[in-house]
Structures are given as structure tokens and as C-alpha cells.
């Protein structure tokens, strides 16, 4: 077996998941350097107003990225199931066809989203004094969607084959490049918020290009014959059919976040800056959960393809326990050091006080966030992608519903922004656990289905 593939259908479930999660976690933490560096550089050197203008673009930019990310995850599910079943020729066909599909869609989104930047930001009620910088930043960020699509695709393919190490190496290089370009463009060349955007896009593109080049050089599953590399309508359709529900799930999560951003904008610049700061912290804290999500998805895909659902169940239970333990540890730290953490991003005391209170509330719900992410990893890896749409819809209903209810209570005030997320995590985690307990995910593997797939 090549150094760049790893079968997880035998041996200790927890060991496979944790050993796979560690490089994913390191990579995800380095990836967050992109966002954290932007926030620190923009917040500390350009001011709270510039930080708020960058923050207001986050939810929309994420929406465009998630379409390609969902398709990449869907392709990874199919590849991991075929790989677990030992169908190597099918693996190669799915790799080639998913590249055609995701590349084309990423390019289209890159072009179209640039023209939609200003109308969407205006729809969010972005304050007039922040609009110009926000539009400039967003146009550059979404213009790089094709690079994000390429990066997500190659990472998803490698992970489905059990290789979490190779993407990490190039991601570290790109993260260091991003830090250097941030400092160069913002502090030396005085490009303002656009400098931070360009630094992130360039770094993401470099990481994608290096990862793809290395995969074709070293990974045996990237060596295609003519038939394997040929576009096939059936396989392209299956990639889309599997990826779209996942993309819709993440897209609806993003839509719900856009709604929440709109609520935050309505409370003014101080709340916007506090919300942006806590979101950066939350993105960092979520990385172990997201790493377990990805690891369990690959683990589940391989074992579902190999016809070993009991291994999947044991792996899930151990991953949930790991997530809850980590959440409890972080909860203790945040209850003690919340203001100190927020102070790393902003300097105004009013923003620090509000952000610290928000972190104290949010951390109490981190166990539910961990369970939510781990359960999604299992269901996606098993091919239960129809439920992904339902879970994403629940997230929209939760954030809109809880948001409207909490903001209608005057005594809650701006804390409604963070309370809405907490209650939504609780709702969607409970739904995922119910789906898992139902056992319907056992029948959703691509290799064991007829063409018709029920939800």
C-alpha cells in the first residue's frame, strides 16, 4: 500500500479516527491563521471600523465557498466508499469526474459572485460607512472561489483515501505565506482591507496548486488510463446528486449565519465588532470538532463501503466522547479567560466586555456543537446525504426562529445574537442523534443502493 493511502477497515476504531484527526486538526488550525491574521492585522492596525467591514462579509463569502465544499465532500464520500470496497478503478473514475464537475462550478461562482457582492451586502443592511471597504474586500475574496474549490476538492479526495498528512504540509506553507503577505500588503504597502483579502486568496491558490501537483506525482490513484479519465455522464450525475444535498446543508447554514449577521448589524458597530471577534474565536474552537467530523466521515465511508456498520457505530461513540471531553476543557478556559481572549482581536474596552460575556454564554453549549459536528460526519460518510438537507433546513429555521424570538425580548438585548446560535446547536444536535438512532444511515451507502435514493 502506498504511503499516500490508508485503509481504515481493520484495527482500532479510535486509533484510526484520532490518528487521522491529528493532522486534520493541525491543518485546520493553520487554516484559521488565514482568518485570525486578517482580523488581528485589520483590527489592530486599521481599526475596529475596518474589522467590522471585513466581518460583515464573512457569512456571504462562506455561502459561495460552501457550494464547492459540499460538492467536494460528496465526491469524497463516493471515493471513500469505493476505496473501502476495494473498487480501485471506480475510485479513479470518481476522482477525475469530480474534478471536472467542481472545477467548472467553482469557476462560474468566481465570476458571478463578484457582481453580486454589493447588492448582497446592501441586503444585509451593512452600514453606509462600512459598505465601500466591505464590497472591496468581498469582491476579491469571492473572486478566489475557484482556488477554494480546487483546494477543497484535492483535500477531500486525499482524505477519502486516508491521507491527511500531505494536505497538511502544503497548508502550513500556505499559512506562513498568508501571514507574510498580510503584513506586507497591509503594513508596508498600505493596501488596506483589500491587502488582507489578496493575501488570503493568493495563499489559498498556492496551497491548492501544490497539493494537486504533488498528488499527481506521488499518489497511485491519480494515475489514470484513458477510460478512467473520460467524463462519464452517470458518474458526473452521481457526484452532483451526492454533493448537492451536502452543499445545500452548508449553504443553508451559511444563509442562517447571514440572517444572524443582519441581526448583529442592527445593533450597531460595537456589537458588529464583538460578533466578528467572537466568530473568529469560535471558528478556532470548532476545529477539533470539524477534524473529528472529517475523520469520522472518511472512516465511515470506507467501512460502509466494506460492509462493516458495527465498526462505524463503535467509531462514532468514541468520537462523541472525545468531542465532549474537549468541549468541557474549553468551557473551563473560556469561563476564566474570556475577556483576555477577545482582547487579542480588538482594543476598545466596550467591545471586549461584550465579547467576553458572549463567550461565557457560548462555551456552555460547546458540547452540543461537538456532538452536532461528529454526527454530521457519520451521516455524510455513510451516504445519508438526503438528511443533510433536512439538517441544514433545521439550522435555518432555528436561527431565524430563535433570532426573531430572542430579539423581541428587550431584556436580552444584543446577547440575542449569541443566544440564537447556542439554541440552534442544541436543536440540530438533537436531530442528528435521533437520525443516528433510527439506523436509516445503514442503507444509504452508494454501493448498496438502487438508483432511487429515499430520504
Query: Tell me, what's the pLDDT at 98?
Result: 92
Cell of 299: 472512516
Query: Tell me, what's the pLDDT at 2?
Result: 60
Q: What is the mean pLDDT of residues 160-170?
A: 86
Instruction: Give the residue, 59 or 92, on which the prediction is more confident.
Output: 92
pLDDT band at 455 (very low <50, low <70, confident <90, very high): very low
Q: What is the mean pLDDT of residues 341-367?
A: 86
pLDDT band at 453 (very low <50, low <70, confident <90, very high): very low
Query: Tell me, what's the pLDDT at 448?
Result: 59
Among the listed ranges 250-264, 363-377, 439-453, which one has the minimum average pLDDT value?
439-453
Q: Are 272 and 265 in contact (CB under 8 A)?
A: yes
User: Does pLDDT of 452 surpass 60?
Assistant: no
The per-residue pLDDT for range 30-55, each reduced to its tens digit, is: 777 666 666 777 777 777 777 777 77
Q: What is the mean pLDDT of residues 107-135?
A: 85
User: Does pLDDT of 83 surpass 80?
Assistant: yes
User: Does pLDDT of 431 surpass 80?
Assistant: yes
Q: What is the mean pLDDT of the chain?
A: 86
Query: Tell me, what's the pLDDT at 447?
Result: 67
In three-state form (DSSP H/G/I as H, E/B as E, the rest C), the secondary structure along the chain is CCCCCCCCCCCCHHHHHHHHHHHHHHHHHHHHHHHHHHHHHHHHHHCHHHHHHHHCCHHHHHHHHHHHHHHHHHHHHHHHHHHHCCCHHHHHHHHHHHHHHHHHHHHHHHHHHHHHHHHHHHHCCCCHHHHHHHHHHHHHHHHCHHHHHHHHHHHHHHHHCCCCHHHHHHHHHHHHHHHHHHHHHHHHCCCCHHHHHHHHHHHHHHHHHHHHHHHHHHCHHHCCCHHHHCCCHHHHHHHHHHHHHHHHHHHHHHHHHHHHHHHHHHCCHHHHHHHHHHHHHHHHHCHHHHHHHHHHHHHHHHHHHCCCHHHHHHHHHHHHHHHHHHHHHHHHHHHHHHHHHHCCCCCCHHHHHHHHHHHHHHHCCHHHHHHHHHHHHHHHHCCCHHHHHHHHHHHHHHHHHHHHHHHCCCCCHHHHHHHHHHHHHHHHHHHHHHHHHHCHHHHCCHHHCCCCCCC
Query: Tell me, what's the pLDDT at 121?
Result: 86
The per-residue pLDDT for range 289-340, each reduced to its tens digit, is: 999 998 999 999 999 988 899 999 999 999 999 999 999 999 999 898 888 8
d(CA 377, CA 61): 23
Amino acid at each position: 500500500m502506498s504511503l499516500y493511502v490508508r485503509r481504515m477497515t481493520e484495527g482500532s476504531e479510535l486509533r484510526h479516527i484520532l490518528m487521522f484527526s491529528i493532522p486534520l486538526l493541525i491543518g485546520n488550525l493553520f487554516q484559521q491563521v488565514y482568518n485570525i491574521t486578517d482580523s488581528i492585522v485589520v483590527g489592530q492596525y486599521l481599526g475596529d471600523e475596518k474589522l467590522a467591514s471585513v466581518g460583515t462579509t464573512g457569512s456571504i463569502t462562506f455561502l459561495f465557498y460552501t457550494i464547492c465544499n459540499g460538492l467536494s465532500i460528496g465526491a469524497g464520500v463516493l471515493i471513500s466508499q469505493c476505496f473501502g470496497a476495494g473498487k480501485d478503478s471506480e475510485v479513479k473514475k470518481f476522482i477525475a469526474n469530480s474534478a471536472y464537475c467542481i472545477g467548472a462550478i467553482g469557476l462560474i461562482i468566481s465570476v458571478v459572485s463578484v457582481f453580486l457582492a454589493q447588492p448582497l451586502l446592501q441586503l444585509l443592511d451593512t452600514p453606509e460607512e462600512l459598505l465601500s471597504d466591505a464590497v472591496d474586500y468581498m469582491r476579491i475574496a469571492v473572486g478566489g472561489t475557484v482556488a477554494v474549490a480546487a483546494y477543497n476538492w484535492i483535500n477531500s479526495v486525499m482524505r477519502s483515501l486516508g491521507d491527511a498528512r500531505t494536505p497538511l504540509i502544503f497548508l502550513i506553507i500556505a499559512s506562513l505565506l498568508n501571514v507574510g503577505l498580510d503584513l506586507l500588503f497591509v503594513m508596508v504597502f498600505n493596501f488596506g482591507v483589500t491587502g488582507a483579502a489578496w493575501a488570503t486568496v493568493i495563499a489559498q491558490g498556492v496551497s491548492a496548486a501544490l497539493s494537486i501537483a504533488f498528488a499527481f506525482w506521488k499518489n497511485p490513484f491519480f494515475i489514470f488510463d484513458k477510460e478512467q479519465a473520460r467524463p462519464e455522464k452517470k458518474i458526473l450525475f452521481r457526484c452532483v446528486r451526492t454533493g448537492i444535498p451536502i452543499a445545500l446543508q452548508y449553504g443553508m447554514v451559511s444563509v442562517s449565519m447571514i440572517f444572524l449577521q443582519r441581526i448583529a448589524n442592527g445593533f450597531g458597530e460595537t456589537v458588529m465588532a464583538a460578533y466578528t471577534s467572537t466568530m473568529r474565536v469560535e471558528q478556532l474552537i470548532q476545529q477539533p470538532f470539524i477534524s473529528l467530523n472529517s475523520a469520522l466521515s472518511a472512516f465511515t465511508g470506507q467501512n460502509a463501503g466494506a460492509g462493516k456498520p458495527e465498526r462505524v457505530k463503535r467509531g462514532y461513540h468514541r468520537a462523541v466522547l472525545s468531542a465532549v471531553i474537549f468541549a468541557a476543557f474549553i468551557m473551563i478556559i473560556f469561563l476564566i479567560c474570556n475577556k483576555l481572549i477577545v482582547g487579542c482581536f480588538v482594543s476598545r474596552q466596550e467591545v471586549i466586555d461584550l465579547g467576553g460575556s458572549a463567550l461565557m454564554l457560548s462555551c456552555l453549549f460547546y458540547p452540543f456543537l461537538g456532538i452536532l459536528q461528529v454526527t454530521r460526519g457519520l451521516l455524510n460518510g455513510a451516504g445519508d446525504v438526503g438528511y443533510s438537507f433536512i439538517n441544514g433546513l433545521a439550522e435555518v429555521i432555528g436561527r431565524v426562529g430563535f433570532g426573531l424570538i430572542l430579539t423581541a425580548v428587550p431584556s436580552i438585548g444584543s446577547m440575542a445574537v449569541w443566544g440564537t446560535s447556542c439554541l440552534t446547536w442544541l436543536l440540530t444536535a438533537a436531530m442528528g442523534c435521533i437520525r443516528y438512532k433510527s439506523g436509516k444511515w445503514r442503507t444509504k451507502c452508494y454501493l448498496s443502493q438502487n438508483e432511487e435514493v429515499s430520504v
